Structure 1
Amino acid sequence: MACKVRLLPILPVIWTILFSVHAEAVESKKNLTVAVLLPWTGTWPIGQRMGPAAAVAIDDINNNAALLPDHHLDFVWKDTGCSAREGMDVTMELYEELGENLRVIIGPGCDAVCGPIGVLAASWNVPIVSWGCASSHLSNKDEYPTFVRTVGPFTKTGGLFVSLLKHFGWTRAAILASTQQVWQTTSHAIKLALEDAGIAVAFFQSFDPGYVQMTERERAMHHDALETAKQKARILIFCADGGDVREMLLMAADLGIVNGDYVFVVINFAPDAMLGENTWMGRDGRDDDARKVFNGLLNVHVHTPLLEDWEVLEREVRYRMAGPPFNRGMQRYEKVDVYAAMLYDAVMLYAMALDDALREGESEADGARVAQLMKGRTFDGVAGEVSIDEYGDRSPNYVIQNLQGSRFEDIAEFATANKSLEMRDVDIVWAGGKTSPPIDSPECGWDNDLCMDDSCEFILL
């Protein structure tokens, strides 16, 4: 009787063996859950353009045999809504869900959220690594001992403003600042830097942000502040959130100064704020006006990386955004935000510090020690060199962007470490559509003392 030989399909067998080996390897490792806080909704929904960067970093760590070799990382994420209350709520949810296994918080990104969460994290002895919060108050290690960040505080932009004004020969400016803490500390740092460099701050005015309350009285105060500013300087620096910038620029248009004679400079402006529904202003019917007045705006933003690693991360973020747990397909015209690099580097910074702590014989539960090991560290991040100082702050590089239509064009780069400004060879569009930089004073001077009065009569005896 002939024997039948049965050939087993070899590929499924191999995959089964490999999967079993991988599963056993993972099971032999200690699980560590990374808690990620993102603003997915609210006034700055940037999570929708960079959130999966955390997942990319975690996969890279798990695939690196030299980094945390005895641990397997996964993550959970929550939406803070860029709101202190919502941020507190979801952080308490994380604490209830993870309990003593809450070992690290990556994020949040909004200053209003970082403050209270930073205090909570310190009380829990949990390191918190923010990828977006820029308030200088967070550098206070007595209050935020476990707080570290992969961005720098906006107070470090002072040197940038000095270099920018000197490049164009401007010697006079005005500053309008929201009373929010982050913008107060930022605006005063810029004012001090300009004055130390011999640049006059001819007018400085604070105002309450619109989301607090906006009555006719408040609106009149904002209008009066801008009216006075335009009579004192032509370089106007706004330190405020997007909704307040939108309101001020619409007022500037109503005052007739979006005409090419004035320069408007903002910090970390989100293009979404051109639409009223994305701000406290709501649907006010002035979106078309806003698009026009924003054309020519100068925006100070964290440096946009041009490295190959960044291009890889961009593709990965876009690809993973469509799948779980984010489940949001990005449109072709949508860009992955540069903060994806800061988020990726935040996860990597924590992993490297934890790895060092474990090699010292410390526990992942000692958040204060892990946070301490992040300080004074320099490494090659996905967006370039990451250098963390003794306060847990990154020494940042910035770009100056020019809003041309609906797109930001990088026109200059600024390195904080050596305070160098490098202009790019690109055309700049100025407010009002002009192509040449404005001068910083009227032709006849601010007191009309540079022009002869033609009405005067001279009698020679």
Structure 2
Amino acid sequence: MNATKEFKIALLGPWSRNSVKPVEKHYMEKAANYTIAKLNERCAIPGYRLTYSLHDTKCHPGVCIVEMAKARKSNARAFIGPACEFNCFSASKLSREWNMTMVSYACQSNLLSDRQRHPYFVRTVTTFLETGRFIGAVLDHFEWDKVCIVLNNALSYPWMELMDEIKRNYAGLQPTQWTTELSKPEKFSQELDAHMLKCFVFVLCMYTNEVIQFLANTKKRGYFETGRVYIAVDFLSYLNEDFTGLLDITLDANQDLEPFVNFFSEISCLDNDCITVEELHQRNITRTKVLKLCNDPVQLYSLCCEVDMDFFYIIHYIS
């Protein structure tokens, strides 16, 4: 390999399991190892060797800013992330001040599309606007009525954008809006019983841990045997438990295809942690999601640099 100079990117994400939208650090690290190794094999950025650092931003803007400062101090040249909507705006504004590119794999707010306010921000995920249109189309296609949109506590402001878009794009009866508090089990159970009497479809505008808590409590009360439908958006679960009636709007993959099995066998052995075929089948969906979270933004960024090296030098060495 001719590349001699290091080019570091910082991966920002909530690795802590107690975060509202956690991403398993072990999976993300393997995904990063795989992606970076493949890019370095083909010298994606001529004259440079890509490296990365992981930064746990939790779902807290203050922590995110501190971790970004640490990354910049350690000579990181670009940011991949963050994940939580709570962090997206402050992180994007900081990247603008530092003239550093930010490629997010999770920030979905429509407001981040404003190029004047967020000139260095791009993303590899859809916006709440587009997601709302899609969910509205799904509800209309199946002619579902008695729809309830659920948020966890009144502070879930990032999800309010999605809720508004679903309402705007759903041609059926006006959905019921339910703002609950999962942290208060007794109150939640009473509200759940009341909404089950009048709703058939529940759209969960929540983060992963909140979705798990909602579904677990709902299952405990016996509502999974009633034929109701639950729709979660990008539900990145690490549980093996099957939730009957859950529709997950996310990436899908056929685990039986030979390229799929070979691909994940290769990933599983990157850190001398080879696993059996049975274990592979248990983990493959989570691995697929996390790999896509990491791979897409890194590939996009490297492609921009590879196609337009003038852009690369202007962004990282002149400004």
What residue is the counterpart of 1:265 in the other structure? 231
Residues 224/366 of structure 1: CA separation in 2 closer, same or farther (3 Å cut): farther
> How far 1:350 moved relative to its partner?
0.9
Query: Larger % of helix: which?
Result: 2
2:174 is paired with a residue whose SS is: strand
Q: Is the 8 A contact 1:106 1:347 kept in 2?
A: yes
What residue is the counterpart of 1:192 in the other structure? 168
Letter matched to residue 69 of structure 1: P
The CA distance in 1 between the partners of 2:138 and 2:202, in whole Å, is 13
What residue is the counterpart of 1:229 in the other structure? 195
Letter matched to residue 305 of structure 2: L
What residue is the counterpart of 1:343 in the other structure? 294
**Within the alignment, does 1:91 sit opposite 2:68 as a pair?**
yes
Residues 309/141 of structure 1: CA separation in 2 closer, same or farther (3 Å cut): farther
TM-score by length of 1: 0.58
Q: Is the 8 A contact 1:236 1:264 kept in 2?
A: yes
What residue is the counterpart of 1:299 in the other structure? 248
Range with greater deviation from structure 2 (78-87 or 127-136): 78-87
Q: Is the 8 A contact 1:174 1:201 kept in 2?
A: no
**Within the alignment, does 1:334 sit opposite 2:307 as a pair?**
no
Letter matched to residue 89 of structure 1: V
Q: Is the 8 A contact 2:99 2:315 kept in 1?
A: no
Q: Is the 8 A contact 1:354 1:364 kept in 2?
A: no
1:50 is paired with a residue whose SS is: helix
Residues 340/90 of structure 1: CA separation in 2 closer, same or farther (3 Å cut): same
TM-score by length of 2: 0.80
1:399-421: CA deviations, max 9, x gaps?
Answer: xxxxxxxxxxxxxxxxxxxxxxx
> How far 1:252 moved relative to its partner?
3.8
2:12 is paired with a residue whose SS is: strand
Which ranges in structure 2 are unaligned for 5 or more consecutive residues?
none
Q: Is the 8 A contact 2:102 2:122 kept in 1?
A: yes
Q: Is the 8 A contact 2:81 2:106 kept in 1?
A: yes
What residue is the counterpart of 2:146 in the other structure? 172
What residue is the counterpart of 1:183 in the other structure? 159
Residues 201/329 of structure 1: CA separation in 2 closer, same or farther (3 Å cut): farther
The CA distance in 2 between the partners of 1:95 and 1:155, in whole Å, is 32
> How far 1:105 moved relative to its partner?
0.8
Q: Is the 8 A contact 1:202 1:232 kept in 2?
A: no
The CA distance in 2 between the partners of 1:273 and 1:136, in whole Å, is 30
**Within the alignment, does 1:318 sit opposite 2:318 as a pair?**
no
- The number of residues matched between the two structures is 307
Letter matched to residue 15 of structure 2: W
Letter matched to residue 169 of structure 2: A
What residue is the counterpart of 1:72 in the other structure? 49
What residue is the counterpart of 2:35 in the other structure? 57
User: Max radius of gyration: which structure?
Assistant: 1
What residue is the counterpart of 1:48 in the other structure? 26
> How far 1:62 moved relative to its partner?
2.6
> How far 1:128 moved relative to its partner?
0.7
Same amino acid, percent of matched pairs: 21
Residues 84/267 of structure 1: CA separation in 2 closer, same or farther (3 Å cut): same
1:353 is paired with a residue whose SS is: helix
2:225 is paired with a residue whose SS is: coil
Residues 201/72 of structure 1: CA separation in 2 closer, same or farther (3 Å cut): same
The CA distance in 2 between the partners of 1:162 and 1:49, in whole Å, is 32
> How far 1:120 moved relative to its partner?
1.4
The CA distance in 2 between the partners of 1:110 and 1:330, in whole Å, is 31
The CA distance in 2 between the partners of 1:361 and 1:51, in whole Å, is 25
What residue is the counterpart of 2:14 in the other structure? 39
Letter matched to residue 57 of structure 2: T
Q: Is the 8 A contact 2:236 2:289 kept in 1?
A: no
Which ranges in structure 1 are unaligned for 5 or more consecutive residues?
1-21, 275-290, 369-461
